Structure 1
Amino acid sequence: MGRRSSRDEQGSAADGLLAQAVQQVVAAQPDGLDLALDVGASLLAASAERWPQVSRALLGHAEQAVGRCWAAGWRPADLVRVVRRELGAAHLALAVDLIAAEGRRHAAAALDRRWHEQLRELAVEVWWADDAEFLSEFGGRQRLDRFAVATAALELLRAWALLPPVAPVGPAPGRSAVASNVRVAGEPRMLGRIRALLAKAESTEFPEEAEALSAKAQQLMAQHSIDDALLSVGAPSKDSPAALRIGIDNPYESPKAMLLDAVAAANRCRVVWAKEFGFCTIIGFDGDLDAVELLYTSLLVQATATMSRAGSRRHRDGAPRTKAFRQSFLISYAARIRERLSEAVEQATADAAAGRHLREDGTAEQVVPDERLLPVLAAREQAVDDTVGRMFPKLVSQRVRVSDGEGWMAGRAAADRAALHGGAGEIRR
């Protein structure tokens, strides 16, 4: 047997060096972390000649590290969110690149629709031509020297290695999206129309117009959910509850989670908040999950803009408005949105039960009432509750406190003007 080439030996040495550095950093206690990072980064970055082999080793190690996260239930947006909350801008860019490097192992057909959407939103791409030059080119892009790049890589790999398993919200790469009954096609045409209505609601300067546009969007969403429910009759194996995660960022996490819970409840979904990781898991039927994501995002945009304008003014006594005002504003906003959405959904369900059907263009038509509707909707809600029980067998509730009366009143008034979507009460965690 011939001797191994010098390049193979250098690559093997770099692999071992990286594995040792990562192991020591991951195992380090908080009071010894800085030393472990300095020692590991110094070893990795010491030699310019060895840097290309370290680059290859890092991308190879990332395939395993990221793959373990997928197997533990995490998704691309989740890993990036963890980095955004705990580390810096360079770490964020490196996280996206390591996800791209791992993604080379998977065919497009092995990824579900929402996975593809997350990769697109994160702008995940393999922009480098040679794995051996990746770290050098990355350092040039970020204006970092070898030591800083190595430190960022070790900090990032530590953050991911310490993540615990979470309840999966879809198939991991490698499982067929079709085999797992996950839709891979584009969104329904009605959702495109809803998206356009909400974009107009967010951009208009006239509250009455925003309300009218949002109300129409909520009507279409309710009808879309009802149509999906009736189409599912007779094909239960192809239509079962699914899940997705939505990020809940500081500040004012609790009111934002309440708003999301209100939107989800109106669309027959359930919310479980993982505060320590900065996300909520939404459980519901696939089309309803799309509606929740669209409506929550739009309402949060509207609420934030209105709160910023209200918060720039002063209290009646002349004192500047505080964090308590903004917290109370958002709690009240979520509570009132819940009320409005409940009313809208009840009306849409009653109309559908009476045979009044809303077309995709927003006009109504009279059809023969379908007696299956209410039992089907009840069965779907029970299926969602059962799925929540299986995914999260141990849940607790958390209440939030209102401490600013002016903020409460301002938030309620803003919700009355908002483009519809849901609230107040308890958040399951």
Structure 2
Amino acid sequence: MSSATAGTVDHAFRAALYAESDTALDTGASLLAADTAADAELARRGQEFVAAAWRRGWQPADVVRIVRRELDDVHVRLAAELIRAQQAHDRPRGPRWRAQLDELSAGAAESAEAAARARPDRFTHATTVLELYRLLLRLPALEPLDEHEPTHRPGTASGGSESRMLTRIRALLAKAEATGFPQEAEALSAKAQELMARHSIDEALLAALTPTAAAPGACRIGVEAPYEQAKAVLLDAVATANHCRAVWNEPMGFSTVVGFEADLEAVEILYTSLLVQATTAMTRAEAAQRAGGRKRTKTFRQSFLAAYAHRTGTRLAAAAETQVTDDLLPVLASREVAVTAHTDRMFPRTTTTRLRGVSDAAGWTEGAEAADRAQMGVRPRLPRDGRDARDA
């Protein structure tokens, strides 16, 4: 790399990355478009921006989420390319991180086809690059999430077996969400719930019988607009019912969920399924309202989802109170203390917020009724004598 090439990139960055105006962006893009020798250095700098985001606590899914929210699809494709390229220079990470990279790789072929179809001119491409780098440069620091390999205990399934179980659960819930037959959906959801409960119960029993140094972890789950307040309330209800804590970051569009690994998996799966069910029910109820001559779509949807989240929380809390036998109270209490302490260390200052925009009585009623119909991962009663859950 020549000093002249590095100078071109530096001049473009000084012009475009530290100013908001379109004129500054155009100046930087013009410099880059005129110097074809700067392309490799420009890509290398992009990988450095990605590595800096990792040091500030961001993860691949977080970066893709914020780019998708703030910019366009072409920026998302470019960000994914940079993340994959930077992977070769990164240190080993944990399974959640790897799963995020695998998801990016799964869409790589489609992204390449889309990029080939677009084929922008050099100025347009340089503008896209600078817009993305400007966003990456200004990402704030986030609470770091521990990324480590899970501890393997005698009697537990290997990572591959757990992945197969989770894949099966997700497939069952996907079928339940897609079918138009309530009885089929109920049967599929019931089977998924059985597997989910077995996975989590096994972890709780093993923790009681073979104590290890396992500690709570955390993951981030996207809470996307619109109606993100109601969605955050729903996620909080699911997290609480599964012995986790959720902290919502409204500006960044996600909640951080803190808990033990098996419970984090249950929260991710159940929240996703309930949100799909809520959206489907809301669309159906809204169509009926429109057929009756009503037009207040936004207030109806906000009230619907707020009621759905509230009622779901009530149902999950009631179910959680009846699922635990006295035998497991000590280990669950110990886990709750550990989760609370971990949450307080990550978030020493939190505030509460009031749910806004809930003013449509019909939407509230429809949402509550939809929550009553929703299929939830209610856990069976835990065995009293320490037997494996499969034999209970």
The yes-or-no answer on 1:100 pairing with 2:75 is no
> Structure 1 residues 380 and 211 mapped into 2: Cα distance closer, same or farther (>3 Å)?
same
Q: Partner of 1:186 in structure 2?
A: 160
Q: Partner of 1:403 in structure 2?
A: 359
Q: Partner of 1:170 in structure 2?
A: 146
Between stretches 320-329 and 309-318, larger displacement belongs to 309-318
> Structure 1 residues 311 and 24 mapped into 2: Cα distance closer, same or farther (>3 Å)?
same
The yes-or-no answer on 1:264 pairing with 2:224 is no
Residues 331-358 of structure 1 deviation map (CA, whole Å, 9 limit, x = unaligned): 11111211222233333324xx5xxxxx
Structure 2 Cα separation of the partners of residues 211 and 293 of structure 1 = 20
Residues 165-192 of structure 1 deviation map (CA, whole Å, 9 limit, x = unaligned): 1011233xxxxx44x8599933625434
Q: Partner of 1:4 in structure 2?
A: none
8 Å CA contact 1:284, 1:384 repeated in 2: yes
Letter in structure 1 aligned against 2:355: V
8 Å CA contact 2:61, 2:100 repeated in 1: yes
Q: Partner of 2:382 in structure 1?
A: none
The yes-or-no answer on 1:392 pairing with 2:347 is yes
Structure 2 Cα separation of the partners of residues 385 and 330 of structure 1 = 28
Residues 317-338 of structure 1 deviation map (CA, whole Å, 9 limit, x = unaligned): 7322421110111111111211
SS of the counterpart of 1:94? helix
8 Å CA contact 1:212, 1:419 repeated in 2: no
Pick aligned residue for 2:7 from 12, 16, 20:
16
- Percent of matched pairs sharing the same residue: 50
The yes-or-no answer on 1:117 pairing with 2:99 is yes
> Structure 1 residues 223 and 347 mapped into 2: Cα distance closer, same or farther (>3 Å)?
farther
SS of the counterpart of 2:256? strand
Structure 1 Cα separation of the partners of residues 161 and 136 of structure 2 = 31
Between stretches 331-340 and 241-250, larger displacement belongs to 331-340
8 Å CA contact 1:59, 1:101 repeated in 2: no
SS of the counterpart of 1:254? helix
8 Å CA contact 2:173, 2:189 repeated in 1: yes
Q: Partner of 1:360 in structure 2?
A: none
SS of the counterpart of 2:123? helix
Q: CA deviation at 1:220?
A: 4.1
> Structure 1 residues 62 and 264 mapped into 2: Cα distance closer, same or farther (>3 Å)?
same
Q: CA deviation at 1:125?
A: 8.0
Q: Partner of 1:278 in structure 2?
A: 253
Q: Partner of 1:248 in structure 2?
A: 223
8 Å CA contact 2:216, 2:259 repeated in 1: yes
> Structure 1 residues 150 and 266 mapped into 2: Cα distance closer, same or farther (>3 Å)?
same
> Structure 1 residues 124 and 19 mapped into 2: Cα distance closer, same or farther (>3 Å)?
farther
SS of the counterpart of 2:63? helix
Q: Partner of 2:121 in structure 1?
A: 145
Q: Which runs of 5 or more residues in structure 1 are unaligned? A: 1-7, 128-134, 172-176, 354-370, 423-429
Give the alignment of 1:27-106 within 5 angstroms. Answer: 27-28=18-19, 30=20, 33-46=21-34, 50-51=35-36, 53-106=37-90
Q: Partner of 1:357 in structure 2?
A: none
TM-score (norm 2): 0.86
TM-score (norm 1): 0.79
SS of the counterpart of 2:255? strand
8 Å CA contact 2:74, 2:115 repeated in 1: no
Q: Partner of 1:365 in structure 2?
A: none
Q: CA deviation at 1:140?
A: 4.5
> Structure 1 residues 237 and 68 mapped into 2: Cα distance closer, same or farther (>3 Å)?
farther
> Structure 1 residues 14 and 233 mapped into 2: Cα distance closer, same or farther (>3 Å)?
farther
Structure 2 Cα separation of the partners of residues 121 and 71 of structure 1 = 21
Letter in structure 2 aligned against 1:379: S
Q: Partner of 1:362 in structure 2?
A: none
Letter in structure 1 aligned against 2:104: L
8 Å CA contact 1:329, 1:409 repeated in 2: yes
Q: CA deviation at 1:149?
A: 0.4
> Structure 1 residues 247 and 99 mapped into 2: Cα distance closer, same or farther (>3 Å)?
same
8 Å CA contact 2:29, 2:127 repeated in 1: yes
Structure 2 Cα separation of the partners of residues 54 and 335 of structure 1 = 54
8 Å CA contact 1:331, 1:408 repeated in 2: yes
Structure 2 Cα separation of the partners of residues 237 and 68 of structure 1 = 34
Q: Partner of 1:232 in structure 2?
A: 207
Letter in structure 2 aligned against 1:225: S
Between stretches 396-405 and 68-77, larger displacement belongs to 396-405
SS of the counterpart of 1:393? coil
> Higher helix fraction: Structure 1 or Structure 2?
2
Structure 2 Cα separation of the partners of residues 82 and 305 of structure 1 = 25
Structure 2 Cα separation of the partners of residues 306 and 126 of structure 1 = 33
8 Å CA contact 2:84, 2:105 repeated in 1: no
Structure 2 Cα separation of the partners of residues 227 and 160 of structure 1 = 41
Residues 84-119 of structure 1 deviation map (CA, whole Å, 9 limit, x = unaligned): 111111111111111111112147xx1211111111
SS of the counterpart of 1:243? strand
> Structure 1 residues 321 and 314 mapped into 2: Cα distance closer, same or farther (>3 Å)?
farther
Q: CA deviation at 1:160?
A: 0.7
Q: Partner of 1:417 in structure 2?
A: 373
Q: Which runs of 5 or more residues in structure 2 are unaligned? A: 379-392
Letter in structure 2 aligned against 1:275: E
Q: CA deviation at 1:206?
A: 2.5
Letter in structure 1 aligned against 2:146: G
Pick aligned residue for 1:378 from 318, 333, 338:
333
8 Å CA contact 1:312, 1:321 repeated in 2: no
Letter in structure 1 aligned against 2:319: A
> Structure 1 residues 343 and 121 mapped into 2: Cα distance closer, same or farther (>3 Å)?
same
Q: CA deviation at 1:139?
A: 6.5
Give the alignment of 1:296-307 within 5 angstroms. Answer: 296-307=271-282
Structure 1 Cα separation of the partners of residues 255 and 12 of structure 2 = 34
Coordinate RMSD, CA, aligned: 2.7
Report how many residues are paired. 370
8 Å CA contact 2:15, 2:27 repeated in 1: no
